[in-house]
């Protein structure tokens, strides 16, 4: 049985989201239209197996779209399920007269909608073609980004490094395909605004290689680019990440896609003040986690108290990587006008003073001392 095509027509993004989620587990390609006029164009182009059509819409409502569908010899055979917020008997009678196969009253559940759809067409559950099993955030990942806009490439690489992930950013499909064959990516992001169907061609190219068949490929798009998303879906893109693209936005998309546990390990908040707590044992992986959680802590501190404590009390040794980290955190906080203070034991301070970078950095013995210093600075 081939993949069924469903066209969902609604002017509400909320309903579109719910409809999209309803069919995620099924072997179905869902495309979207925002009103009756777009419905007629999309129906003629895609010849879907089913249309789910809202009644009340701007530009052209569902009744008019349905009337025109039924008057078109090529389209009249496409079954239609109407979605309506109006369950009154008069409305139901009106819908029935127009020859729809069924109707669903809003609010509806995903299960309720699915049950109605299964009455009209048979859809089967998706056989896993992409790697979507939960993965650990500590796991090393190869990330491939194909985006003609190179502005964010360097920042993407830098942010991914914080996660011990390796990002390869390309602006040309040929180069991206070569890189993918050389180092098979665990996940790819592909710009849907590349000209001449390059995104679709790239997808086909990497899917034709056995090693890359299961790598998730996410289309980079804007929420309003419904047309581009529909075309991409028809070509086999199953998931999308929204622009504007940044290192952080792609990390969020990866975390969400692989259902990674993103719970902070070294962050705490006491009386509204955020602390980044360095553990006694520092490994390269812990340093990466600290870098990542520092970004979250800085974001939170900027939006709230304006203070961030670096708690180094568990440490007794100082080493170059750690010192560089402490200095870079302090500088980033200063750039964002966040008051930061480092708390450390005498033993650690003695060792830190041996490094030029931290020879003059003030350390505090307790949290209270550090907060008092922040208060003084803010008052000044």
Q: Which residues are at the interface with other proteins (CB under 8 A)?
A: 11-15, 17-18, 21, 56-58, 84-91, 105-109, 223, 252, 256
Residue placing its CB nearer to other proteins in the complex, 62 or 185: 62
Residue placing its CB nearer to other proteins in the complex, 106 or 197: 106
Residue placing its CB nearer to other proteins in the complex, 106 or 353: 106
Give min distance, CB of 61 to other proteins, in A.
9
Residue placing its CB nearer to other proteins in the complex, 292 or 341: 292
Q: How far apart are CA 140 and CA 185, in angstroms?
A: 11
Q: Locate 282 and state its tokens.
A: 């520092």
Give min distance, CB of 240 to other proteins, in A.
13
Q: How far apart are CA 180 and CA 192, in angstroms?
A: 18
Q: Give, in order, the Cα–Cα distances in Å from 312 to each of 2, 274, 321, 363.
A: 59, 14, 14, 10
Give min distance, CB of 197 to other proteins, in A.
29
Residue placing its CB nearer to other proteins in the complex, 17 or 183: 17
Q: Give, in order, the Cα–Cα distances in Å from 316 to each of 194, 239, 280, 309.
A: 53, 47, 8, 18
Give min distance, CB of 83 to other proteins, in A.
11
Give min distance, CB of 55 to other proteins, in A.
9
Give min distance, CB of 169 to other proteins, in A.
23
Residue placing its CB nearer to other proteins in the complex, 66 or 253: 253
Give, to the nearest 10 degrees, the angle between helix 36-46 and helix 226-235.
Answer: 20
Residues comprising the chain, all counted: 380
**Residue 126 near residue 26 (C-beta atoms within 8 A):** yes
Q: How far apart are CA 376 and CA 380, in angstroms?
A: 6
């Amino acid at each position: 049985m081939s993949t069924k095509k469903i066209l969902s027509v609604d002017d509400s993004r909320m309903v579109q989201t719910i409809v999209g989620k309803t069919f995620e587990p099924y072997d179905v390609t869902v495309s979207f239209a925002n009103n009756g006029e777009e419905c007629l164009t999309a129906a003629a182009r895609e010849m879907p197996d089913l249309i789910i059509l809202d009644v009340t819409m701007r530009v052209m409502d569902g009744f008019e779209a349905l009337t025109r569908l039924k008057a078109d010899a090529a389209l009249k055979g496409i079954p239609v399920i109407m979605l309506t917020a109006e369950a009154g008997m008069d409305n139901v009678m009106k819908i029935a007269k127009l020859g729809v196969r069924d109707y669903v009253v809003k609010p509806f559940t995903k299960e309720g909608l699915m049950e109605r759809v299964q009455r009209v067409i048979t859809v089967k559950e998706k056989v896993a073609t992409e790697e979507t099993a939960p993965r650990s955030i500590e796991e090393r990942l190869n990330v491939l980004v194909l985006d003609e806009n190179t502005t964010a490439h360097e920042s993407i690489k830098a942010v991914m490094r914080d996660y011990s992930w390796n990002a390869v950013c390309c602006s040309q499909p040929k180069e991206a395909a070569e890189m993918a064959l050389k180092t098979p990516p665990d996940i790819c992001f592909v710009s849907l605004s590349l000209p001449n169907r390059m995104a679709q061609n790239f997808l086909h190219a990497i899917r034709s290689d056995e090693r890359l068949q299961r790598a998730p490929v996410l289309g980079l798009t804007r929420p309003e680019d419904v047309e581009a998303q529909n075309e991409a879906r028809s070509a086999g893109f199953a998931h999308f990440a929204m622009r504007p693209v940044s290192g952080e936005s792609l990390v969020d998309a990866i975390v969400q896609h692989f259902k990674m546990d993103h719970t902070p390990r070294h962050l705490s908040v006491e009386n509204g003040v955020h602390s980044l707590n360095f553990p006694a044992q520092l490994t390269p992986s812990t340093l990466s986690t600290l870098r990542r959680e520092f970004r979250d802590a800085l974001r939170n501190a900027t939006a709230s108290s304006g203070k961030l404590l670096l708690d180094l009390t568990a440490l007794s040794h100082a080493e170059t990587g750690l010192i560089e980290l402490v200095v870079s955190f302090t500088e980033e906080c200063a750039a964002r006008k966040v008051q930061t203070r480092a708390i450390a034991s005498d033993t650690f301070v003695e060792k830190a003073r041996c490094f030029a970078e931290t020879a003059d950095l003030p350390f505090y013995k307790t949290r209270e001392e550090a907060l008092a210093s922040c208060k003084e600075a803010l008052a000044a």
